[in-house]
Structure 1
Amino acid sequence: MNPTAPIFAALAVLCAATGLASPALADDPPPGDPPPPQVFNVRYTVTADKLVNARIYYRDTDPPSFSDYSHDPYVFSPTADATVGPGKPWVLETTLTDPIQWGMVAVQAQGSLPLAAAGFNCTMAINGAVVKTNSGPKGALCSLRNWQ
């Protein structure tokens, strides 16, 4: 008997078992569209210590790219004019795919009111968890990104 015959026989069995255990390439599903990005629920809340007319800037859409945003940031930053005060908040709920990068709400007094008396407050929550709060006498900014 050939001394290498058992080795070749074992190798043949091993190759056959490996071939049966691995899926054939034809069985792989065809590549499709990538899964959609995860969407986060974002809630912005703006209040003030005294009743005041406010101009509120917020982000409710993820820009396609930073260069698109840089070219014209106001396209991606709508405004709302609202009267806010104790018991009278302004609230907006939206969805963003990257709220850490793009989530933002900013508020300032509108008109000729005594700005120092406004006492603005803002809150930003993602999926129900408050992630940022801020207050200021003339305005407030809530964002996880440093915009400076």
Structure 2
Amino acid sequence: MHIATRTFATALAVLGTATCLASPALADDAPPGGPLPPQLFNVKYTVTADKPVIAEIYYRDTDPPTFSEYSHDPYVFSPNTEATVGPNKPWVLVATLTDPMQWGMVLVQATGALPKATAGFNCTMEINGQVVKRNSGPKGALCSLRNW
């Protein structure tokens, strides 16, 4: 064995032994109190329209366990509702998510007799009281931090 290789191997062995003796945190025991719970975020969705209209609203109020489960059936994790919204009649939903950057989303579009081009939809998404996304559109609006 070459001298440099032996020196390196000896240094690794000494370092490994010293680390194991000096660091009880590296033991197999779990930290006291167990794992920390995931951080939860308060997500508030608000939908309005420039004119009174019956709106179809899709939203996310639950984090999917995995992306593959979400992509297999996104509607399981994206419930929808119909609501009459207008300038002074908002639709508001407050949800708790662990990853709102990935999963926070509200989408609105017109339904019913009013022509979609005249609805003038607006949406807002807040995380922990801070507005993080606003959007408007004549036929619908999407508020999400993720690019869908």
RMSD over aligned Cα atoms: 1.7
Distance in structure 1 (CA, Å) of the matches to 2:66 and 2:35 = 18
Secondary structure of the structure 1 residue equivalent to 2:114: coil
Give the C-alpha shift of residue 57 in structure 1: 0.1
Q: Which runs of 4+ in 1 moved over 3 A?
A: none
Give the C-alpha shift of residue 29 in structure 1: 10
Question: In the alignment, what sits opposite 2:129?
Answer: 128
Distance in structure 1 (CA, Å) of the matches to 2:86 and 2:138 = 13
Rg (Cα) greater in structure:
1
Matches within 5 A, 1:1-148: 25=24, 30-31=29-30, 33-147=34-148
Question: In the alignment, what sits opposite 1:8?
Answer: none
Give the C-alpha shift of residue 105 in structure 1: 0.1
Give the C-alpha shift of residue 112 in structure 1: 2.9
Question: In the alignment, what sits opposite 1:16?
Answer: none
Secondary structure of the structure 2 residue equivalent to 1:61: coil
Give the C-alpha shift of residue 30 in structure 1: 4.1
Q: What is the TM-score normalised by the length of structure 1? A: 0.79
Distance in structure 2 (CA, Å) of the matches to 1:113 and 1:51 = 9
Sequence identity percentage: 74
Give the C-alpha shift of residue 73 in structure 1: 0.2
Q: How many residues align?
A: 124
Q: What are the ranges of 5 or more consecutive residues in structure 2 without an aligned counterpart?
A: 1-21
Q: What are the ranges of 5 or more consecutive residues in structure 1 without an aligned counterpart?
A: 1-21
Secondary structure of the structure 1 residue equivalent to 2:71: helix
